[in-house]
């Protein structure tokens, strides 16, 4: 049993159908409890109640980057191994990633207003996320614009590859351009705690919730895409016959 | 030694196999005329042989730089003259001498005229003259006689015969009779692809999900 | 490759080729900016490096769709794909032709437009140098965008959406070099990064663009 077998549409439909209810339930449970727990945490001595937006902001930002990475991996699998479900999974993930990026940007703005006294600052991290959002938009627009699904899958795959290199390059270029206000990473494996456990555990729970939410959305959207392809394939066969 | 040997070839259009299990060989001096109803995949087959799209299955054996393709569009630049257009393609294919090509398609009087001032038939003649400057042995021709009058068709047939005489060959998708005694018809109808099979790699999304 | 380059240059300079259009667009951009931000010299001098770079970038974008679209429509691209020249070479030749008719004139004419925007004196050489180093990357990335969108009916707008984010690193390093030059700082680090981006783009992007072209041809 290899992972490649799941790239077979029939097998994917069967397996994803079995996983989906658990993913939805887990996402609902973890997201809601993580956010409620987070809301009940004490106020930060410096940032006050505004710190609580972290339970939305950080998981969304984390997912925004990881969804792009997942798209990069599935695009590579498509380009190298030609597994059709892989290309459709990349397509299905893109709008979710774009919304996660948008959530990270908007919550960042709402958090930044009381903290830095401005809704928007051309800080390297914020700017990188804005650029990442543009890459998501371009990727989604290209899928929408190309009619032939085989060409669309190949072109978006190449775009994802080139885009990944430039998203990374932009990340470092932006650092060169402006040093920034944004605090460092919120969670770190390095010794010397940055964040107290009071905030950490609800944050972990919330992250898990966002991940499961993404998984559930990805499965639903990929299943929809597969059904749409099936419909198109049947129509194409009708027309040929 | 065949110029081109095709074995068990399958080609696809729009993510569905059009023609499959096709095997044939082309010898020097041979003309293969592709027959079959509209939409069976004559253009797709020619484009696959030219290397413009991948074959779904099977093999195409030919020495490198064997094929010269001429499709529906002639690849002419309206702002350039007949000579400039032809000289450009000659240089791309690593050749210099365009005079024989101009003579063969009776374009010498038009040599200095910009391509936008040519009639449809004259453009087609220039597009066909381009085949001669490629120096390649196998010509893949998709409806080459569209918009040609009877005299021009005869010119083209003479050019083709000269090409065959020099050890060249051609595959032609056409509905008209070129009056070439050496032409062999290849009817694609028996090779029309059946429903997609599970045991082979799908040609595209439309087969993978059918 | 040389034949293709010369043909593209000849086509660009003949009537209807659009040569000089990018320069005119650059001039208009530089004319409009003072109407938007006011005629005060200090303000203009401060934003001039950025305006000049953004203007050059947008002028470059203007003619990108012509790189492959015309050759795609008239069938030349099919014939080029079957020619002995690898498609990567054709992409490089066409991007080079695009640079010679847009990027190079823009870089050489930029000091004139910089006068209009009161660019501080020490920045002039850095403006020309940074544009000379940076615009080849703009042409090559543009060729990639044009290759991806060549089969689409309304590809122009989509191409801008795809290409402009790719221009970010080049813009950052290019404008930074001019800004540091204007402030009397050391523009060399920015120029080195700019050259690094350009070399990387020239080395790798032709393969991506040729891959996209092959997809669109089949």
Q: Which ipTM was obtained for this model?
A: 0.90
According to the 3-state scheme, what is the secondary structure of chain C? CHHHHHHHHHHHHCCCCCCCHHHHHHHHHHHHHHHHHCCCHHHHHHHHHHHHHHHHHHHHHHCHHHCCHHHHHCCHHHHHHCCCCCHHHHHHHHHHHHHHHHHHHHHHHHHHHHHHCCCCHHHHHHHHHHHHHHHHHHHHHHHHHHHHCCCCCCHHHHHHHHHHHHCHHHHHHHHHHHHHHHCCCCCHHHHHHHHHHHHHHHHHHHHHHHHHHHHHHC
CB contact under 8 A, A162 and C211: no
Note whether B129 and B106 are same-domain residues: yes
Residue C95's pLDDT is what? 94
Report the pLDDT averaged over residues A56-75. 94
For residue B58, being part of any structural domain is answered with yes
Residue A11's pLDDT is what? 86
Residues of A in contact with C173 (CB under 8 A): 173, 176
Entry pTM: 0.91
CB contact under 8 A, B71 and C83: no
| Probe site for chain C from A152, A166, A168 (most C CB atoms < 10 A) | A166
Instruction: Say whether pLDDT at A180 is over 70.
Output: no
Which chains are within 8 Å of B by 3+ CB pairs? A, C
Residue C100: Cβ-neighbour burial (10 angstroms; 0-12, 13-18, 19+): middle
| Probe site for chain B from C2, C7, C73, C217 (most B CB atoms < 10 A) | C7
Residues of C in contact with B80 (CB under 8 A): 7, 10-11, 14
Instruction: Say whether pLDDT at C167 is over 70.
Output: yes
CB contact under 8 A, A155 and C165: no
pLDDT, tens only, B7-41 = 988 898 888 888 888 889 888 888 889 888 888 88
Backbone angles phi, psi at C197, to 5 degrees: -60, -45
Distance CA A202, CA A39 (A): 9
For residue B17, being part of any structural domain is answered with yes
Instruction: Say whether pLDDT at C204 is over 90.
Output: yes
Mean pLDDT of chain B: 86
Distance CA B69, CA B89 (A): 12
Instruction: Say whether pLDDT at B127 is over 60.
Output: yes
Q: Which domain holds residue B84?
A: 76-135
Q: Which of A69-73, A203-207, C42-46, C82-86 has the highest mean pLDDT?
A: A69-73
For residue B57, being part of any structural domain is answered with yes
**Reduced to 3 states, what is the DSSP secondary structure of residue B81?**
strand
* Model confidence band, residue A40 (pLDDT cutoffs 50, 70, 90): confident
Instruction: Classify the C-alpha dihedral C64-C66-C71-C74 as positive or negative.
Output: positive
CB contact under 8 A, A236 and B209: no
Nearest CA to A60 out of A14, A22, A106 is that of A106
Nearest CA to B73 out of B112, B124, B6 is that of B124
Report the pLDDT averaged over residues B196-210. 75
* Model confidence band, residue C93 (pLDDT cutoffs 50, 70, 90): very high
Note whether B104 and B173 are same-domain residues: no
For residue B131, being part of any structural domain is answered with yes
Instruction: Say whether pLDDT at B118 is over 90.
Output: no
Render the burial of B97-128: b for 16+ CB within 10 Å, e for the rest.
ebeebbebbebeebeeebbeebeebbbbbbbb
Backbone angles phi, psi at C177, to 5 degrees: -60, -45
pLDDT, tens only, C11-63 = 888 766 667 888 899 999 889 988 998 888 888 888 889 999 999 999 988 88
Note whether B48 and B100 are same-domain residues: no
Residue A2's pLDDT is what? 59
Note whether B130 and B193 are same-domain residues: no
Note whether B81 and B112 are same-domain residues: yes
Residue B183's pLDDT is what? 81
* Model confidence band, residue A142 (pLDDT cutoffs 50, 70, 90): very high
Q: Using beta carbons and an 8 Å cutoff, which residues of B are at the interface with A?
A: 14-16, 195, 201-202, 204-210
Report the share of chain C in percent with pLDDT over 70.
Answer: 98
What would the two tokens of residue B13 be?
């259009």
Note whether B131 and B143 are same-domain residues: no
> Which of B117, B135, B153 is the last residue in one of the domains?
B135
Residue B110's pLDDT is what? 86
| Probe site for chain A from C91, C138, C161, C200 (most A CB atoms < 10 A) | C161
Instruction: Say whether pLDDT at B153 is over 60.
Output: yes
Number of domains in chain B: 2
Note whether B50 and B93 are same-domain residues: no
Residue A192's pLDDT is what? 43
Q: Which of B184-193, C179-188, C195-204 has the highest mean pLDDT?
A: C195-204
Q: How far is B127 from chain A (nearest CA, A)?
A: 28
pLDDT, tens only, A89-134 = 999 999 999 999 999 999 988 888 887 888 888 888 888 999 999 9
> Which 13-72 residues of chain B touch chain C by CB within 8 A?
47, 50-54, 65, 67-69, 71-72
CB contact under 8 A, C79 and B91: no
Of C2, C11, C73, the CB nearest to B79: C11
A142 touches chain C (CB under 8 A): yes
Instruction: Say whether pLDDT at A191 is over 50.
Output: no
For residue B71, being part of any structural domain is answered with no
Report the pLDDT averaged over residues C183-202. 91
Distance CA B56, CA B196 (A): 12
Q: How far is A233 from chain B (nearest CA, A)?
A: 4
**Least reliable range by pLDDT among A40-49, A181-190, C59-68:** A181-190
pLDDT, tens only, B170-179 = 899 888 777 7
* Model confidence band, residue A46 (pLDDT cutoffs 50, 70, 90): low
Residue A124's pLDDT is what? 82
Residue of chain C with shortest Cα separation from B136: C83
Q: Return left, alpha or beta for A8; rule: phi > 0 is left, psi -120 to 50 is alpha, else beta.
A: beta
For residue B42, being part of any structural domain is answered with yes
Instruction: Say whether pLDDT at A239 is over 70.
Output: yes
CB contact under 8 A, B205 and A229: yes
B76 touches chain C (CB under 8 A): yes
Residues of C in contact with B73 (CB under 8 A): 73-75, 78
> Which of B120, B135, B150 is the last residue in one of the domains?
B135
Of A131, A142, A162, the CB nearest to C144: A162
pLDDT, tens only, B40-59 = 889 999 999 998 998 888 88
Residues of A in contact with C164 (CB under 8 A): 134
Note whether B89 and B182 are same-domain residues: no
Note whether B202 and B142 are same-domain residues: yes
Note whether B143 and B208 are same-domain residues: yes
Note whether B13 and B54 are same-domain residues: yes
Of B16, B201, B202, the CB nearest to A236: B16
Residue of chain B with shortest Cα separation from A13: B209
For residue B2, being part of any structural domain is answered with yes
For residue B50, being part of any structural domain is answered with yes
Residue A193's pLDDT is what? 46
Instruction: Say whether pLDDT at A188 is over 80.
Output: no
Note whether B25 and B126 are same-domain residues: no
CATH of residue B53: 3.40.50.300
CB contact under 8 A, A146 and C169: no
**With contact defined as beta carbons under 8 Å apart, do C13 and C101 qualify?**
yes
Instruction: Say whether pLDDT at B101 is over 50.
Output: yes
Report the pLDDT averaged over residues B61-88. 88
């Amino acid at each position: 049993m290899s992972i490649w077998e799941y790239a077979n549409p029939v097998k994917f439909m069967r397996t994803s159908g079995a996983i989906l209810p658990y993913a939805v339930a887990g996402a609902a449970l973890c997201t809601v409890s993580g956010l409620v727990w987070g809301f009940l945490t004490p106020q930060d001595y410096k940032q006050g109640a505004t710190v609580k937006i972290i339970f939305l902001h950080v998981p969304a930002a984390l997912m925004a980057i990881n969804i792009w990475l997942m798209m990069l991996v599935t695009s590579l699998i498509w380009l190298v191994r030609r597994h059709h479900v892989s290309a459709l999974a990349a397509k299905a993930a893109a709008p979710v990633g774009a919304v996660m990026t948008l959530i990270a940007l908007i919550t960042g703005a709402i958090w930044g207003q009381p903290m830095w006294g401005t809704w928007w600052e051309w800080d390297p991290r914020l700017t990188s996320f804005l650029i990442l959002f543009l890459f998501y938009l371009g990727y989604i627009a290209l899928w929408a614009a190309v009619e032939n699904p085989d060409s669309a899958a190949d072109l978006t795959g190449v775009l994802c590859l080139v885009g990944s290199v430039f998203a990374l390059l932009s990340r470092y270029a932006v650092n060169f351009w402006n040093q920034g206000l944004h605090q460092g990473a919120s969670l770190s494996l390095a010794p010397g705690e940055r964040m107290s456990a009071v905030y950490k555990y609800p944050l972990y729970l919330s992250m898990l919730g966002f991940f499961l939410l993404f998984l559930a959305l990805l499965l639903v959207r990929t299943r929809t895409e597969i059904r749409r392809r099936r419909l198109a394939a049947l129509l194409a066969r009708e027309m040929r016959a | 030694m065949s110029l081109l040997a095709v074995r068990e070839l399958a080609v696809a259009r729009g993510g569905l196999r059009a023609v499959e299990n096709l095997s044939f060989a082309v010898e020097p001096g041979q003309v293969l005329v592709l027959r079959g109803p509209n939409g069976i995949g004559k253009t797709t087959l020619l484009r696959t042989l030219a290397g413009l799209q991948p074959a779904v299955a099977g093999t195409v054996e030919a020495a490198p730089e064997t094929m010269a393709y001429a499709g529906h569009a002639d690849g002419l630049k309206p702002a350039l003259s007949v000579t400039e257009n032809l000289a450009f393609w000659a240089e791309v294919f690593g050749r210099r001498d365009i005079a024989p090509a101009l003579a063969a398609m009776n374009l010498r009087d038009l040599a200095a005229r910009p391509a936008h001032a040519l009639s449809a038939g004259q453009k087609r003649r220039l597009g066909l003259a381009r085949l001669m400057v490629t120096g390649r042995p196998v010509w893949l021709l998709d409806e080459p006689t569209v918009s040609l009058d009877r005299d021009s068709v005869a010119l083209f047939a003479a050019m083709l015969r000269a090409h065959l005489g020099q050890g060249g060959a051609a595959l032609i998708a056409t509905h008209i009779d070129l009056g070439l005694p050496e032409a062999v018809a290849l009817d694609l109808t028996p090779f029309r692809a059946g429903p997609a099979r599970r045991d082979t790699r799908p040609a595209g999304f439309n087969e993978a999900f059918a | 490759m040389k034949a293709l380059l010369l043909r593209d240059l000849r086509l660009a300079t003949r009537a209807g080729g659009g040569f000089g259009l990018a320069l005119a667009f650059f001039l208009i951009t530089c004319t409009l900016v003072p109407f938007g931000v006011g005629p005060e010299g200090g303000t203009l001098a401060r934003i001039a490096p950025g305006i000049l770079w953004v203007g050059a970038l947008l002028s470059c974008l203007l003619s990108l769709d012509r790189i492959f679209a015309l050759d795609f429509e008239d069938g030349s691209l099919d014939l080029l794909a079957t020619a002995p020249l690898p498609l990567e070479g054709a992409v490089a030749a066409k991007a080079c032709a695009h640079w010679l008719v847009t990027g190079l004139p823009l870089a050489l004419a930029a000091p004139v437009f910089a006068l209009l925007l009161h660019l501080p004196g020490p920045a002039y050489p850095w403006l020309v140098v940074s544009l000379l180093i940076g615009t080849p990357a703009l042409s090559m990335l543009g060729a990639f965008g044009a290759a991806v969108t060549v089969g689409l009916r309304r590809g122009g707008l989509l191409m801008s959406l795809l290409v402009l984010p790719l221009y970010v690193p080049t813009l950052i390093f290019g404008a930074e070099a001019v800004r540091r030059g204007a402030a009397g700082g050391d523009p060399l680090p920015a120029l080195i990064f700019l050259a690094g981006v350009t070399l990387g783009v020239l080395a790798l992007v032709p393969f991506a663009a040729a891959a996209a072209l092959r997809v669109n041809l089949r």
